[in-house]
Amino acid sequence: MRCDFADSLLQGYFDRELSTASAAEFERHLQHCVHCSVELVDMDLLSERLQLARLYEAAPASLRKKIYADLRPVAPATAMSRPLLWHWLAAAAALLLLAIAGWKMNSVPRTDDYQVELAEEIVDAHVHSLQPGHLTSISSNDEQAVKGWFKGRLAFTLPARDFANDGFALQGARLDVVEDRSFAVLVYARAGHLFNVFIWPTRERDTSPRLGSRQGYQWVDWRKGRIEFCAVSDAPTSDLQQLQRLFTN
Amino acid sequence: MDDLDAEDRLRFEQLVLPHVDAAFNLARWLLRRREDAEEVAQEALLRACRFFRGFHGGDARAWLLQIVRNTCYSWLEKNRPRELMVEFDEELHPRPVATPESIAMADEDRERLTRALESLPPRFREVLVLREFEGCSYKEIAAITLMPIGTVMSSLSRARRQLYSVLTNSNHKEAAREV
């Protein structure tokens, strides 16, 4: 036997899709309807069972490879052709080496190509950090606690801020090493996506945000007040831009 | 994919490619076979790329999943039309299989759940996958499947009930067999 209410409101109530008024109405009904109560529990058990069984199947690497292969060839004259792009990359890599050497001697200003290259290394570091136990060395949403943890570890003042009110909840922080250099990293979460914000001192002038992507991850890099930031996530670019604005404001 | 210029391509990589997992997962559950899912998901991505110029902001995941879903259904129509007609596939109805005791309980349940899900009609499987695995809201499911929200709700209701009954049914059978 099934209750008339079941089909109209039960699902919506279970999935938290009812308005407050409808939910209240349904809860009054629940108080004296055994069928609906039992069905709710059954649905919950079933849902939990589905989650526990981990049936979600992520795309296999072979599919990603094929999709990227499909994306590669660029025909129109407006875009850079592939061989040209490789030449450009080779040139960028050469410049990069110079730039690194220069930067290490603190004499030659870095080029923007270096910014891209470093951002891609940072994306790799982001991916690495997603492995269990690598994300944070201190897990806390307390700005002072996070700042305190970095005390003595950094030669600059870290803008550790929690943006939970704007949807980006501070998860914690760690030190990370990319290209033999240390970076302060703040970790944020929003709607199931993790954001790593790499932060380090720079001698360069402020720049407006620069965007890029690598292997399905997005990054945005900007400089402000002699500090450079690079935020990475698998979330849409608009989320990263919002996070960037929160830091700059 | 030679229709996109460099700027559109970057936008495509940023907006659409983060949802490749969702695309594959939906195709896998609609088509039931991973090889087919891989082929169809790739085709859907190509299609998405071709029509990307027509996408003006909005929810990229819902947009992509809509394309994946339509590609899956047209593939089913071409290759396994029978599946779209049956309300409930008796042949696919899960039969309890003897599982080696070495396999953990969790694996066994995973197996049983997989077969139970696969026995549901594609339209039911689809709403369950979008809701339970992809965490879509009713509004998002409605946008992806082009169903009214009321239909989303009643499909979910029927899908859950059917899944539940398939599972309890197979449990009973298994219990009976053990006796």
User: Do A160 and A240 have their domain in common?
Assistant: yes
A48 and A128 share one domain: no
CA distance A148 to A141: 12
- Classify residue A126: in a domain, yes or no: yes
Nearest CA among B123, B132, B128 for reference residue B163: B128
Poorest-pLDDT segment among A1-5, A155-159, B8-12, B46-50: A1-5
Q: Does pLDDT of B135 surpass 50?
A: yes
What is the predicted pLDDT for the residue at A86?
59
pTM of the shown model: 0.52
What does each C-alpha distance from A46 to A33, A157, B89, B128, B170 come to in angstroms?
A: 20, 50, 21, 11, 14
**Domains in chain B: how many in total?**
2
Query: Are B121 and B143 in the same domain?
Result: yes
Q: How far apart are CA A222 and CA A246, in angstroms?
A: 12
- Name A136's Cβ contacts closer than 8 Å, sequence gap at least 6: A171, A172, A173, A174, A187
A125 and A43 part of one domain? no
Q: Does B18 touch chain A (CB under 8 A)?
A: yes
| Boundary residue ending a domain (A52, A68, A91) | A52
Answer yes or no: do B143 and B95 share one domain: yes
Interchain proximity B15–A7, CB inside 8 Å: no
Does B112 lie in the same domain as B75? no
Do A45 and A118 lie in one domain? The reply is no
Q: What is the pLDDT of residues B114-132, one digit of tens each?
A: 999 999 999 999 999 999 9
Strands A169-178 and A181-190: antiparallel
- Check whether B147 has a pLDDT greater than 70: yes
SS3 A19: coil
Number of separate domains in chain A: 2
Gap between the Cα atoms of B128 and B125, Å rounded: 5
Confirm or reject contact between B168 and chain A (CB < 8 A). Answer: no
Nearest-CA distance B82 → chain A (Å): 25
Tell me whether residue A70 is in a domain.
no
* A45 and A141 share one domain: no
Residue, of A210 and B7, whose pLDDT is higher: A210
Query: Looking at the predicted structure, is the pLDDT value of residue B90 above 50?
Result: no
Give the residue from B85, B112, B127 where a domain finishes: B85
> In this structure, are B18 and B72 located in the same domain?
yes
> Is A1 an interface residue toward B (CB < 8 Å)?
no
Q: Contact, B120 vs B163, CB < 8 A? A: yes
Q: Which residues 160-189 in chain A show a CB within 8 A of chain B?
A: none
> Do residues B52 and B31 both lie within one domain?
yes
Contacts of A213 in chain B (CB under 8 A): 10, 13-14, 17
Q: Determine the structural domain holding residue A16 and report its residue range.
A: 4-52
Q: Tell me what ipTM this predicted complex has.
A: 0.72
In a domain, A101, yes or no: no
Question: Within chain A, which residues score under 50 in pLDDT?
Answer: 1, 74-81, 102-110
The string of pLDDT tens digits covering residues A8-45 is 688 999 999 989 998 888 888 888 777 888 888 888 88
Identify whether residues B101 and B155 lie together within a single domain: yes
Residue B10 three-state SS: helix
Residues above pLDDT 70, as percent of chain B = 80
Q: By three-state DSSP, how is residue B58 classified? A: coil
Domain assignment present for A107:
no
Q: Indicate which CATH number applies to the domain containing B112.
A: 1.10.10.10
Residues in chain B with CB shorter than 8 Å from the CB of A52 are 106, 109
Does residue A62 sit within a domain?
no
- Count CA atoms within 13 Å of residue A121 on its CB side: 17
> Per-residue pLDDT for B95 more than 50?
no
Residues A41 and A134 in one domain: no
Q: Are B76 and B113 in the same domain? A: no
Is B80 in the same domain as B98?
Answer: no
On the question of pLDDT at B99 being above 80, the answer is: no
* Whether residues B77 and B97 fall in one domain: no
Strand partners, A229: A199, A222
pLDDT in tens, B22-44: 999 999 999 999 999 999 999 99
- d(Cα A14, Cα A36) in Å, to the nearest integer? 11
Of B85, B110, B134, the residue that ends a domain is B85
Same domain assignment for residues B48 and B125: no
* DSSP characters over A58-91: PPPHHHHHHHHHHH----STTSPPHHHHHHHHHH
In the structure encoding, which two tokens stand for residue A136, read together?
């944070």
Chain B residues whose CB is inside 8 A of the A80 CB are: 6
Task: Give the gap in angstroms from C-alpha B86 to the nearest C-alpha of chain A.
Answer: 23
Report residue B97's pLDDT band, with 50, 70 and 90 as the boundaries: very low
Same domain (yes/no): B50, B109:
no
Residue A71 included in any domain: no
Q: Which residue of B has its CA nearest to A48?
A: B132
Same domain, A119 and A190: yes
Task: Please name the residue ranges forming H helices in chain A.
Answer: 4-5, 11-14, 20-30, 34-52, 61-71, 82-104, 112-129, 143-150, 237-248
Are both A230 and A137 inside the same structural domain?
Answer: yes
Judge whether A113 and A92 are in contact, CB under 8 Å. yes
Q: How far apart are CA A228 and CA A222, in angstroms?
A: 6
User: What is the model's pLDDT at position A187?
Assistant: 94
Task: Name every chain B residue with its beta carbon within 8 A of the beta carbon of A58.
Answer: 21, 24-25
What is the structure's pLDDT at A196? Answer: 95
CATH number at residue A210: 3.30.200.100
Interface of A with B in 67-86 (CB under 8 A): 67, 70-71, 73-76, 78-80
Residue B112 CA: distances (Å) to CA of A56, B98, B169, B177: 15, 11, 12, 16
Edge-to-edge strand list for the sheet holding A227-233: A138-139, A169-178, A181-190, A193-201, A227-233, A217-224, A207-214
Q: Identify whether residues B65 and B97 lie together within a single domain.
A: no
The parent domain of residue B164 ranges over 87-179
pLDDT at B111: 85
What would the pLDDT profile of A53-86 be if each residue is shown by its tens digit? 888 888 888 898 888 888 765 444 444 445 556 5
Distance from CA of A171 to the nearest CA of B (A): 22
> Of A186 and B15, which is predicted with more confidence?
A186
Domain-located, residue A220:
yes
**A28 and A136 housed in the same domain:** no
Judge whether residue B108 has pLDDT over 60: yes
Q: Domain end: B18, B52, B85, which one? A: B85
* Residue A28 falls inside a structural domain: yes
Q: Does A49 touch chain B (CB under 8 A)?
A: yes
How much is the average pLDDT of B77-93? 66
CATH of the domain at B51: 1.10.1740.10
